[in-house]
Amino acid sequence: MKRFLIITALALAVTGCGSSRKAEALRKSSASAAIFLPREDLLPELDTTGLKRDTLKVEDPDGREVLIMKAVRDQDGEMVATDVIDAAVITARFRNVAERRGKVDLRFQVTVPESMQDGKWQIRLTPDMYMLGDSVALDPVIITGAAFRRSQLRGYEHYRKFLRSIVTDSAYFRDIHQLEVFISRNIPALYAYRNDSTTVADSVFSSAFGVTEREAIDHYTLRYLVHRNDRRIADKERMFRKHVKVPFVSGGLKLDTVIAGNGGAFTYEYVQTVNTEPSLRKVGISLKGEIYEGDKRIYTIPRSDPLTFYISSLSSLADRSERYLTKVIERDAKAYTACYIDFPTGGHAVDEDFGDNRSEIRRISGNLTSLLEDPRFDLDSIIVTASCSPEGTYPFNERLSQKRAESVSGYFTGFIRKRRDSLLRAAREFNLDGTFDAGSGLAREIRFISRNDPENWGMLDALVRQDSMLTPRDKEAYALSSDMAPDEREVFLHGLEGYKRMREVLYPKLRTVKFDFHLHRKGMIKDTVHTTVIDSVYSEGVQALLDHDYEKAVTLLRPYHDYNSAVAFCAMDYNSSAMEILDSLEETAKTDYMMALIFARKGDDRSAVERYLRAVRMDPSFIHRGNLDPEISRLIKDYGLNKE
């Protein structure tokens, strides 16, 4: 046995020395993990013409047939076809990525060389993302050696063994045998229940010495066991740290995997989705990390060279031209309001102190002042219509409502004159000429027209329908009275159970004074003028497109069925809808380029190349744009476009 322990110790020492030498070699060589761009997916095979797979037959902008191959120019200047090389990674440090639905997927490969792998190590790698002047730590990738993981699991098993030593059954702490002896000797009647589950009151559990159940149990509880168990419960956190040197990481992980040490580099394809923003043009990614043996950090991995992703957004293809609507402007305008001026029964004079008249008069005076001083309109006339409630005879109410309308008209005519006189006095105090600007409403006499609506039955009909306190029976009876003469109808309502509520609650609301203000636009002679105004809804849709809020852009621009709505649909990857709109539009460089992009998405390379060549012929700036959109740049690269 002693010989076995010595051999084991020697083996561990040798293994430990090997690990240390390996870590030292890493430090000397500054070994690093790396990030690469994964190879792009192979193009779909073309099966349309029976030509070679790598050849396209397209029409140039002049209608001539042209054969385009995936080709390079040889040393003699001839174009020769090439095969696709299926490389695992590429050496380029940047890539254009296409935006879809306001998001981009950043794909890169995290590679750990074999020299950095060891069964007793754990590698913790964290990609950092740089965008808009800020950095964000992405979810880490953890690569764990098999021996390291076994050590973790052993630590957790030791901790679970400790947890199993904590007692949860309180009966374990009692000397049950001695407790039963005590009961059998002192309370034999109770001892008879030992095999019965019947609940016994504490008063029954009482010995000749007056000992209760709780006292007996406490007496025969083994206190040292309780204390030991309590210490274990309090010691759980310390024991976890003792046994579990490196806890498992839960949450916020991209990957946590175990490598068995089969040799070769370890590669993980990392995908990070990013929401785009109007000012977001590029995103950088770099990698940092650490290597741990147990709970000790033995190596800090140098930060890798960064990758750069350039974001290709269709929002930059939006047409920012403003759209206009034709708007008809009327010379004449109207405004109205109603007020509730209270009058004494049978009275018609305006009394500011009666009821709520003062607040209502203040409100109407404010409305009048605003209209008189409005820089856009001149106030021509005001129609004042007074109404009465149905009590009393119709002829009486007709005369009374007319007098009330005239009284209110006279009151506010006086208000306007007083305001004019007040402004004139103020002007004289400041040595002004005491005249009003011809554009001011106060410079003219405002004509008041008094009208009346003796009994406002139409408003009463609406109030009765909406009233929740009147019974359906009252409302039905009220409706039957609609064909009666006014005085006959009022007499009929007296017989309803709800008449008291109508008279006390609804009738006062009928005593209104309605103001109709008739105005015209200053300086306008013709009755109507046609003008153009910016279409604000369309402008909001274009702004949503520029802000990368493509769902909103589609909602607002859909009805216009124009180029910008096609861009919005394409940005949301609604390619068929975008193509339907573009087909209906006049052909331009922009529409051809958008069609090329959609055909490329659909895998129709022939149509995509034709449309791209047309766009470039009309607008050479699309040569540069094509290199930014991954769908078009693939065509440029694979078919040698833009070479000439």
Going by their DSSP bridges, the two strands 377-388 and 447-455 should be labelled as parallel
What is the arithmetic mean of pLDDT over 470-479? 90
Q: Does 300 reside within a domain?
A: no
348 and 374 belong to one structural domain: yes
Domain end residue (candidates: 243, 274, 309): 243
User: Domain tally for the chain?
Assistant: 3
pLDDT tens, position by position, 82-98: 433 333 445 678 888 88
520 and 551 belong to one structural domain: no
Higher pLDDT, 339 or 188: 339
pLDDT band at 72 (very low <50, low <70, confident <90, very high): very low
Q: Does 367 reside within a domain?
A: yes
Name the strand (E) or helix (H) holding 13: helix 2-29
Residue 401 pLDDT greater than 70, yes or no: yes
543 and 629 belong to one structural domain: yes
Q: Are 277 and 6 in contact (CB under 8 A)?
A: no
Higher pLDDT, 538 or 207: 538
Q: Does 3 reside within a domain?
A: no
What is the arithmetic mean of pLDDT over 99-122? 89
What is the arithmetic mean of pLDDT over 211-216? 63
> What is the model's pLDDT at position 527?
58
Least confident of 260-274, 466-480, 491-505: 260-274
Domain end residue (candidates: 467, 498, 529): 529
Q: Tell me the two tokens of residue 436.
A: 């009003």
> What is the model's pLDDT at position 443?
52
226 and 344 belong to one structural domain: no
Q: Does 427 reside within a domain?
A: yes
Domain end residue (candidates: 529, 555, 570): 529
563 and 599 belong to one structural domain: yes
415 and 337 belong to one structural domain: yes
516 and 395 belong to one structural domain: yes
Percent of the chain with pLDDT over 90: 29
pLDDT band at 283 (very low <50, low <70, confident <90, very high): very high
Residue type, 417: R
376 and 403 belong to one structural domain: yes
CATH of the domain at 572: 1.25.40.10
pLDDT band at 444 (very low <50, low <70, confident <90, very high): low
Residue 337 pLDDT greater than 70, yes or no: yes
What is the arithmetic mean of pLDDT over 60-74? 50
CA separation for the pair 16, 28 (Å, rounded):
18
167 and 231 belong to one structural domain: yes
549 and 442 belong to one structural domain: no
358 and 432 belong to one structural domain: yes
Helices (H) and strands (E) in the chain, counts: 21, 22
Residue type, 327: K
Q: Does 478 reside within a domain?
A: no
Least confident of 37-51, 454-468, 483-497: 37-51
Q: Are 541 and 564 in contact (CB under 8 A)?
A: yes
Q: Does 93 reside within a domain?
A: no
> What is the model's pLDDT at position 303?
93
Residue 399 pLDDT greater than 80, yes or no: yes
> What is the model's pLDDT at position 52?
36
Higher pLDDT, 341 or 555: 555
Residue 265 pLDDT greater than 70, yes or no: yes
Q: Are 30 and 302 in contact (CB under 8 A)?
A: yes
Least confident of 81-90, 202-211, 264-273, 523-532: 81-90
Buried/exposed 120-137: b ≥16 CB within 10 Å, e otherwise: bbbbbbbbbbebeeeeee
Residue 452 belongs to what domain range? 327-456+512-529
Going by their DSSP bridges, the two strands 307-312 and 94-98 should be labelled as parallel
CA dist 503 to 94, 166, 390, 448, 468, Å? 83, 82, 9, 31, 15
pLDDT tens, position by position, 550-585: 999 999 999 999 999 999 999 999 999 999 999 999
Q: Where are the alpha helices (DSSP H) in 206-327?
A: 213-219, 223-234, 236-243
> What is the model's pLDDT at position 135?
92
pLDDT tens, position by position, 128-164: 999 988 999 999 999 888 888 888 888 888 888 988 8
pLDDT band at 71 (very low <50, low <70, confident <90, very high): very low
Q: Tell me the two tokens of residue 123.
A: 């590698």
358 and 376 belong to one structural domain: yes
